[in-house]
Amino acid sequence: MPRYTVHVRGEWLAVPCRDAQLSVGWLGREAVRRYMKNKPDNGGFASVDDVHFLVRRCKGLGLLDSEDPLEVALEDNEFVEVVIEGDIMSPNFIPSQPEGVYLYSKYREPEEYIALDGDSLTTEDLVNLGKGRYKIKLTPTAEKKVQKSREVIDSIVKEKTVVYGITTGFGKFARTIIPINKLQELQVNLVRSHSSGVGKPLNPERCRMLLALRINVLAKGYSGISLETLKQVIEVFNASCLPYVPEKGTVGASGDLAPLSHLALGLIGEGKMWSPKSGWADAKYVLEAHGLKPIVLKPKEGLALINGTQMITSLGCEAVERASAIARQADIVAALTLEVLKGTTKAFDSDIHAVRPHQGQIEVSFRFRSLLDSDHHPSEIAESHRFCDHVQDAYTLRCCPQVHGVVNDTIAFVKNIITVELNSATDNPMVFASRGETISGGNFHGEYPAKALDYLAIGVHELAAISERRIERLCNPSLSKLPAFLVAEGGLNSGFMIAHCTAAALVSENKALCHPSSVDSLSTSAATEDHVSMGGWAARKALKVIEHVEQVLAIELLAACQGIEFLRPLRTTTPLEKVYDLVRSVVRPWIKDRFMAPDIEAAHRLLVEQKVWEVASPYIEKYRMEHIPESRPVSPTAFSLEFLHKNSTRIPESEDL
């Protein structure tokens, strides 16, 4: 007999159907009837006939025709939502889908696997796991380590040894001995009580990263989880069943207890869970719809699932990868601005940077030369002012290698810390199978990623700070020699006037967000956990800072391309013309005032998707091969070559240049 799971006003109802010829409208009425039956006041309705509603799929939110038979419109055990007329405007309305669901409605189950061993996960790997590009499996070595670790726990339970978190309570209750027959209940109680986070849930991409990273840590074999349970967790990940994890509530020691507890809560079939098939529903229904069973926790397994820095670190991975992408592209945007403002390239001479050999500075100056070298890429704009008496530019142009360079070095430093953290055991107690014992320690403390991500926010912010000043130079006619605010008929049109204000507002917000969260600590758990990292907030605000940086640079990119319009028919260098063409493929020139926000968002998407880098990087790497001797090592902060190799971007033939 078919059965459907129906969402009505924040509640989920299982509705069986004896006759598949019944209609979608019948399903909606039956769900409303069952909803009213469970409410003392009938949910505020006199009868089912008084309720006007629409029925839609949870997956993709497609509306269903009320007259269609169920056997045609829906699959067995499909998730649907009844939207009652008037509810959509109510502050109490709970949608079945997370924000940005349009990104996930096209989800396709991946066919490729990535093998986790707890030792070799990269930031790129984790971001790709978050995007749903891979399923997970364990290496044979990891399976053996997990089994050996579990044998130690089974021995402790069998011998009734007193060990923290296995046969005792937690935190302040560490000296409370728990009876053997209560050890499983202890683990379930731990997960339930610690699921106390607040705020919006992590979006599916970030929740997938969190779950994948926890699996990687468990695969190291120091947590004491059973191989059976770990494989169940992997099955949940591979089915893209993602628990409801509020973004707030962790102090970053003892690990990210609240968010990881919410993660574990869904795995045991409690709380809410999301999948592309179901949308948000009770976890037990989502697991059942995918042929999965809730995990039954064994001794120590609740603690194994929730103790660690994976919330901080998984968000930190996204932050590092996005920071790397925007830092590369900031050089390209700034180079385009310099061309529009008819700046000089003398400040990027390699001899200048060789005598102050910071690796990031050297790499950024090289990128500027590769984009602006008129001998290599003839520029009619540069040629038009070759013999002017201009000696040097403002710092926002001249000092890009020094300012952008330290951002690159900051990202490299932070990426190293985050990569180590990705592959670190962060449990307590730690299970050492080779010694046959457990040891209590403090690897769960999030100070390393917290400090690193505070540093990342401070470093990357400077890309926006200097970009906003360049936008000012583009918009100010006394500095640019271009029409005020980059628009014809100024006065009638305002052009980029308020776009610059938006950039200034974002930079100002970043100044507050860059205050380090890790300088704070509040004692918790009755002074047992008397120093904490506040790393969860460090990670979340680092991501917000990076988003603002992307948006400011999107505005500069639009402004620089608009400036090009006033220099036509002169053309810039070939790589920068390619960037201009890319922008013009999504945003047309600014002839007169129009709704600007969609243009900014379109340019923002180009940067987030690294399209600007994709069109310019082949020219940068071609230049590199022609101008750097093979014996000279390339800076490790030159992420460009690594990205180019991984994405198999075609390097243009010489005639393309």
- Give the active site residues: 164
Angle between helices 227-238 and 257-267 (to 10 degrees): 90
For the record, the structure tokens of 389 come out as: 């008496």
Residue that is written with structure tokens 């904490």 in the block:
532
154's CB contacts (< 8 A; 6+ apart) are: none
- Cα radius of gyration rounded to whole Å, the chain: 28
- The whole-angstrom distance between residue 487's C-alpha and the CA centroid of its chain comes to 36
Q: Interior CA angle at 540 toward 537 and 546, to 5°?
A: 135
Q: How far apart are CA 122 and CA 423, in angstroms?
A: 9
Q: Beta partners for 248? A: 198
Is-contact 637 363, C-beta < 8 A? yes
Q: How far apart are CA 286 and CA 277, in angstroms?
A: 9
Is-contact 328 569, C-beta < 8 A? no
Handedness of CA 473, 478, 482, 484 (dihedral sign): positive
Name the nearest CA neighbour of 322 among 636, 604, 631, 1: 604
For the record, the structure tokens of 594 come out as: 């129009």
Question: Is residue 328 packed enough to be buried (19+ CB in 10 Å), middle (13-18) or exposed (0-12)?
Answer: buried
Q: How far apart are CA 325 and CA 379, in angstroms?
A: 26
Q: Three-state SS for 532?
A: coil
